[in-house]
Structure 1
Amino acid sequence: MRYILAAVSLVISLVLLGLGIGQRTIWAPPETIVSQLEQATDAPILVIPGTTMNAHDGRQSVVVTGEGEITAVVGREHDVDGWVGESMHAIAQVAEDDALVLDEQSGSTDELPRLADSDMWIEQHTGDGEVRFSIDLPIGYTIAIAGEPGTAAPADVRVEWPFDAKTPLFGPLMTAGLVFLALALVLFLLALRSHRRRRGPQRRSHRELSRAERRAMIRDAREGSVRPRGEALLPAGQGAIEAPAEADAASTTAIEPDIESGADASGAPADDVRDASDAPSTAPSTPDAPTDETAGRDRGMAERSATPARRGRFGLIALPIVAVVALTGCGPQYWPSGPSMPPATEEPTPTSLEDTLPPVALTENQFERVLEDTRAVTAEADEARDIDQVSQRVGGAALSARSTNYEVRGLNGEVEALPGIPDGEVQLMLPQQTEVWPRTVMAVVGWEDPARAQSALVFEQEDARADYRLVYQTTLASGVQLPAVASPTIGAASLPGDTPLLQRQPTEITAAYADVLLNGDASEFASWFREDGDTLRADLGRAAKDELIQRPEFALSTLEWTAGEDDPAPRMLVTNEGGALLATSFTETVRVTPKEEGVEISTSGAAASLAGVNETTSGIETTYQIQVLFAVPPADAPEGTQIQVVGYSQALLDANEVGQ
């Protein structure tokens, strides 16, 4: 019966194991989930938002096929939306059957610029006829796809996700199969053990000796008589009968109860019986009878041979048990589980200060690309004096200064170029917190030559489709400490020109400081600004101007200075203590005229090249641009806190002969 049960258990085990293996092979689900776009669009831009890309878990693979040049870019959601603007576009979404469907958005049909190479993209992929890339796109980021300018977006778009193939029956089937396999082995071993016990030699039943026969055997034992093996003693008058060899053991067994009871069958004392048993036996030794040494050796060999057998049986049973235990540690995809919770559709709750603030204008990696491209473009343009090329990366006050420098260098080859973009490491970066335009980023960048002072750079992006351009570049003053600012991942807010949150309104600071340079301590605004450490005031302030007037070469000349507003608006970002870093510029014009008729005014260098004269009797009027970076205290700053100049630069803007 045990053999039958073992066979049934084995069959059940094989069936269950086969079904379990089939769960991971024959009936295994596909390894990927594919969403294919099955409809064309007339829109020039196809947008795949982060919610669509995260419709399934895992790293996404995107394949775009079409004709001609194809561009796919990845950017933050608000950046992509800003670039697309009011233009017609299509938004891809995942339907219930996992197909990609389009939500057409109407808008302007004007031709869009090239999608590639914008400063806002986190990464971009271009190709001719096909673009293929993998990405782990988080929520809040978007993919935009476009073909050549003036054409519709590619219609063959496929998104793939790795499929976490859950086979909840694999674990139970394999476990049950191994359990039945262990049961079959146990039943088989039990059946085998029982069979081995039953197949040993079977003794035939023998006639019980009578009391008289037992007495005769005892008497013979006393007298030392020997009887042949297999022959029993009978009472007088009876013939011998044959008895099997086993009769000796049976007789001995039969006699033992009488001996143990203390008397034999005839009532003789037990001591006599024991004495008789101690008598030397004269029976000849039988060759078949094993000696004690031989019996011991055989018994040891049997024990040693039995040990591996027991270990083998234990191993056969332990193997399925170990496998079952191992299966219990398998992943949850191999076991039944409750229904999975659907992904939350509501916006995640902010968990940190950074999550509650507007995003930064640029990330650190994006700014590194902007800075590197600005270096390369500016270096090439400075060498070729190409104003169109430099205007790709330079604008505002910085472009005005370079434009004049290019003109002067074209007239006079001895005039030096303006300082280029620092080639050292970015030592501070402060992007604006904003989702709208224009956007501002400030940075402090050093030079590879440690002897040169660091430069403060201010970049601006006018609109979403424009590149960031350098609008201010000042040299930091030696020994002046910049106020503490936020990290690049948090950024800083900007303030309006008439904000009451600062000690002075930004719209008043530029003109007030220009007046201080003209009038020194006599200016009504002198108390606004800190004079200690102000190298700009030391170089161009009232004291420096009075010293210039006293020079012998100007003894017959009249020097007059006037200040004017520069066209670019100030750029401002808030510091940690509530103040602001304010980048601004203004113009200062010096007019040199003769005091007497016939006196000639001499000029040279860049001013002479621009004015077109080296000497004149009417005078020379020269205009300079002054860029300044201020540290403005907050409105609640302690009494006596003043605005400090932390950096400045000066450049020639124009030179003319008076009256011309």
Structure 2
Amino acid sequence: MSLVLSLVLLGLAIGQRTVWAPPDTIVSQLEESPDSQLLLISGETMNAHDGRQTVTITADGPINAVVGRDHDVLGWVGDAAHSVASIDDTQTMVLEEQAGNEEPLPELAGGDLWIEEHLGEGEVRIPIDLPVGYSLLIAGEPGQAAPADVRVEWPFDAKTPLFGPLLTAGLVLLALALLLFLLALRRHRRSRGPQRRSHRELSRAERRALRREAREGLPRPQGAVAAGEARPALEPADAEGSDASPADVSDGTPVDGTDGSAPASTDEGTASAPDDAERDRGRAERAVAAPRRRRLGLVALPVIAVVGLTGCGPQYWPSAEPAATSDAAPQPTSLEETLPPVALTESQFTRVLESTREAVAEADEALDIERAADRLAGPALDARRTNYEVRSQNGELPALQGIPDGDVELLLPQQTEVWPRTVMAVVGWEDGAQAQSTLVFQQTDARADYRLVYQMTLASGVQLPAVASPTIGAASLPGDTPLLLHRPDEITSGYASVLLRGDESEYASWFQEEGDALREAVGRAAKDELVQRPEFELSLLEWGASDDEQAPLMLVTNEGGALLATSFTETQRATPREEGVEIEARDGAGILAGVEQSDTGIETTYQIQVLFAVPPAGAPEGTQIQVVGYSQSLLDAREVG
């Protein structure tokens, strides 16, 4: 009966993992076709089930799918019509159409916002572990709806809670059946085995007769025994415990007629009798132990299997229902979770930087301002436009400094979910002799690329203030903020005044003069020295300054101050003091002015980019704004008149 029950239970257990086993995956298929070109699947939808997701998209043409943070994806979608996929109670993927404008959309792939991009033709399979807070955005061909054949698969933890108990019970009953079988077999052998008579003990008279025969040396027929005597055991011994042999218990008369000493030798059979007895005893013990070991092995095998299988995973055993999850919003556990997200991640910035290097290198080689505009904007683009113009007419003129090719030494993205966004970075050169550059990027809207607005060389010996890590980022401030030592929208014009008037400027006390290499190069003292040169003896030199169209960009430092990147233009006007005096226009200025010499004068405009370290409003008295980086380039020139 135990054997039958064990086989039934084992069969049921195997069926739990074969015939009745649940599927290995959970599949949710999109059952309807989207109406719009964009299909959005949020991280909440993708995490409807546990495990790594696999998204399969099938279409007749090209397929574009990108992964980004929720606020980035929604920012890119903007007011465009799109479909939002979710999973209902029947595990079916359903759509919710979001109305919007039907204007043509730009290319989805290639944007700076995306964490991943998946492109293909006909079918795209995306293994992904999409966390909450990220979304998958799928786009169809321009002017067509998004693909309708979208399937999401999750690995299914195929729990069979009856497998463990059934298998364990089956093996226990199998072990019990084997044990009962062995016990029955042993009983059967005892009841039907051969019956041997026990050896009886020799009487005293029989022992005396044996001793007498030994003394007289009477031969005993081979195999014969005395009357009523049982066959002797392997070792003849006194039944009452005496160790003496028949020859030893004689009355003192030697058996062989000698002086009573032991015989000089014995026959070979007699000498080897004890050894034979020991070997026979060992064989007998082993013969008894072998069946015991076999029986223990038969019982131990299922017992070991039961013990091993009881250690199977929890999916094979019944378990308590999981605790109900709370609907309350998760509480932040780190500083990053309490702050706005950073404008972009380190990996995203690496792609932006590589793309900028490539675009600028190609543009500098071909003098192609359109190619440069793919990654440059504002003052950085204006400076290169002028440089390309003059180099196209004089190839011997130097090019502007390229994008540093070394490592990113510092990255400070803005904390924001909206646009425009700002990112600052300090990047070095592979040639360690070159000074590091500060690059300031801006993204004007979600569908635009990050473009380099400012590029300034860090001043030698100047230390940047401490800033937050790239994962935390920094806040930006408005131009009229009262949180800084001076208003940002006044700093640019104030410093331009200092370069023109020196200590006579009302803003001179705002800025630290020590270590200011820019003031040393183009400040009031440098201008006065230029006026005294012989070549300008008959010329009148005048300078003026004006703000640039680009608004300053700033990010907060750890102590509450800010790094402020700004630019302005400074104009040098050279006119003759007397008639007949001509002003010479050299190199790029002559090309831009269209003349090499002028009797009316030349006006040259330079662009100056500056990176300031601005202290907070509560800084100690006497704290000043420090110039930590700058650049200067020719912007325009014209003939006066």
Which whole-Å CA distance do the structure 2 matches of 1:607 and 1:39 have between them? 65
Q: Write the mapping of 1:155-304 to structure 2, written as runs, cut at 5 A.
A: 155-202=148-195, 297-304=279-286
Q: How does 1:266-415 map to 2 (within 5 A)?
A: 297-341=279-323, 344-415=326-397
Change (3 A) 1:92 1:346: farther
Instruction: Please state how far the C-alpha of 1:171 moved relative to its aligned partner.
Output: 0.6
Instruction: Summarize the Cα distance change of 1:344–1:44 in structure 2 as closer, same or farther, 3 Å threshold.
Output: farther
DSSP-derived class of the 2:385 partner: helix
Q: Which amino acid aligns with 2:60?
A: E
1:119 equivalent in structure 2: 112
Show the counterpart of 1:588. 570
Q: Report the count of equivalent residues.
A: 595
How far does residue 222 in structure 1 lie from its aligned partner after superposition?
Answer: 10
| Structure 2 counterpart of 1:264 | none
Partners of 1:360 and 1:30 lie apart in 2 by: 41
CA distance in 2 between partners of 1:297 and 1:40 (Å): 90
What does residue 602 of structure 1 align with? 584
CA offset digits 1:589-636 (Å, max 9, x no partner) = 111111122211111100010001111111111111100000111111
Match of 1:241 in 2: none
Deviation (angstroms), 1:196:
2.2
Tell me how far 1:311 sits from its aligned partner: 1.8
**Deviation per residue, 1:1-28 (Å, 9 max, x gap):** xxxxxxx212211211121111111211
Of the structure 1 ranges 572-581 and 332-341, higher mean CA displacement relative to structure 2 is found in 332-341
Query: Separation in 1 of the partners of 2:228 and 2:207?
Result: 19
Does residue 1:656 correspond to 2:638, yes or no?
Answer: yes
Other-structure match for 1:11: 4
Instruction: Tell me which of 135, 147, 163 is aligned to 1:154.
Output: 147
Deviations 1:120-166 (A, max 9, x none): 10010111122112111111110000011211111100111111111
Q: Secondary structure in 1 aligned to 2:442?
A: strand
1:343, distance to aligned residue in structure 2 (A): 5.2
Which of 539, 545, 551 is the equivalent residue of 1:563? 545
Instruction: Specify every segment of 5 or more residues in structure 1 that has no aligned partner in the other structure, as ranges.
Output: 1-7, 206-216, 227-244, 250-258, 261-274, 281-290
Residues 182-228 of structure 1, C-alpha deviations (whole Å, 9 max, x = no match): 111221222222222222345899xxxxxxxxxxx9897699699xx
* 1-structure distance, mates of 2:195, 2:560: 107
Superposed CA offset, 1:348-406 (max 9, x none): 21101011111111111110101111111111112222222211110011111111111
Alpha-carbon distance between aligned partners in 2 of 1:222 and 1:465, rounded to the nearest angstrom:
121
Which residue pairs with 1:93 in the alignment? 86
> Residue 481 and residue 96 in structure 1: after superposition, are their counterparts in 2 closer, same or farther (change >3 A)?
same
Residue in structure 2 matched with residue 31 of structure 1 by the alignment: 24
Residue 320 of structure 1 deviates from its aligned partner by 1.6
Aligned counterpart, 2:63: 70
Q: Deviations over 1:562-584 (max 9, x none)?
A: 11010000000011111110000
Q: Which residue of 2 aligns with 1:142?
A: 135
Determine the C-alpha separation between the residues in 1 that align with 2:79 and 2:299. 73
Q: 1:295 to 1:395 in 2, by over 3 A?
A: same
Please name the residue that 2:452 is paired with. 470
- The answer for the alignment partner of 1:255 in structure 2 is none
**Structure 1 Cα separation of the partners of residues 189 and 588 of structure 2:** 118
Greater C-alpha Rg:
1
Distance of 1:220 and 1:449 partners within structure 2: 121
> CA-atom RMSD, angstroms?
2.7
| Structure 2: 5+ residue stretches without partners | 212-225, 231-238, 241-245, 252-272
Aligned to 1:106: 99
Structure-1 residue corresponding to 2:619: 637
1:240 corresponds to = none
Q: Deviations over 1:89-142 (max 9, x none)?
A: 111111222211111111111111111100010010111122112111111110
Native 8 Å contact 1:114 1:148 kept in 2: no
User: Counterpart of 2:111 in structure 1: which amino acid?
Assistant: S
Of stretches 189-198 and 168-177 in structure 1, the one that deviates more from structure 2 is 189-198
Which amino acid in the other structure matches residue 38 of structure 2?
I
Report the Cα distance in structure 2 between the residues aligned to 1:136 and 1:12, rounded to whole angstroms.
46
Distance 1:604 1:106 in 2: 60
Alignment of 1:510-521 (within 5 A): 510-521=492-503
Structure 2 residue corresponding to 1:505, chosen from 487, 503, 526: 487
C-alpha change, 1:308 and 1:639, in structure 2 (3 Å) is farther
Q: Residues 520, 190 of structure 1: CA spacing in aligned structure 2 closer, same or farther, 3 A cutoff?
A: same
Distance 1:29 1:156 in 2: 25
Per the TM alignment, residue 642 of structure 1 is displaced from its structure 2 partner at its CA by 0.9
Amino acid at match of 1:466: A
Deviates more, 1:348-357 or 1:337-346: 337-346
- Secondary structure, aligned partner of 2:10: helix
Instruction: State the SS of the aligned residue for 1:436.
Output: coil
Which of 110, 117, 129 pairs up with 2:122?
129
Q: Which moved more, 1:310-319 or 1:462-471?
A: 310-319
For the residues of structure 2 that align with 1:365 and 1:402, how far apart are their CA atoms? 28
- Tell me, in whole angstroms, the C-alpha distance in 1 between the residues paired with 2:497 and 2:38: 52
1:447 to 418, 424, 429: 429
Instruction: Please list the CA deviations of residues 44-85 of structure 1 after superposition, one character each: whole Å capped at 9, or x if unmatched.
Output: 100000011111111111111112211000001110000001
**3-state SS of 1:22 partner:** helix
Q: Given the superposition, is the C-alpha separation of residues 296 and 223 from structure 1 closer, same or farther in structure 2, using an over 3 Å criterion?
A: closer
Rounded to whole Å, the distance in 2 between the matches of 1:550 and 1:503 is: 37
What one-letter code is carried by the residue in structure 2 that aligns with 1:471? V
Residue 15 of structure 2 is matched in structure 1 by 22
SS of 1:451's equivalent in the other structure is coil
Indicate conservation of the 8 Å contact 1:224/1:279, yes or no: no
- In the alignment, residue 177 of structure 2 is paired with which amino acid? A
CA distance, structure 2, for counterparts of residue 218 and residue 603 of structure 1 = 150
> Which of 72-81 and 321-330 deviates more?
321-330
Give 1:58's aligned residue.
Answer: 51
Partner Cα separation in structure 2 for residue 177 and residue 357 of structure 1: 58
527, 540, 550: which one pairs with 2:522? 540
Q: Which moved more, 1:359-368 or 1:594-603?
A: 594-603
Report the secondary structure of 1:185's partner residue. helix
Comparing 338-347 with 430-439, greater Cα deviation is found at 338-347
**Distance of 1:222 and 1:141 partners within structure 2:** 106
Secondary structure of the residue aligned to 2:124 is strand
| Corresponding residue SS for 2:526 | helix
CA distance in 2, matches of 1:377, 1:300: 93
Q: TM (normalized to structure 1)?
A: 0.86
Distance of 1:452 and 1:218 partners within structure 2: 121
Are the aligned partners of 1:67 and 1:129 in contact in 2 as well (CA < 8 Å)? yes
Counterpart secondary structure, 1:91? strand
What's the secondary structure of 1:109's corresponding residue?
coil
- Identical residues among aligned pairs (%): 69
**Secondary structure of the residue that 1:333 maps to in structure 2?**
helix
Post-superposition offset of 1:297: 3.9
User: SS in structure 1 opposite 2:79?
Assistant: coil
Structure 1 window deviating more from structure 2 (420-429 vs 564-573): it is: 420-429
- Distance in structure 2 (CA, Å) of the matches to 1:183 and 1:221: 54
Distance 1:246 1:463, change over 3 A: farther
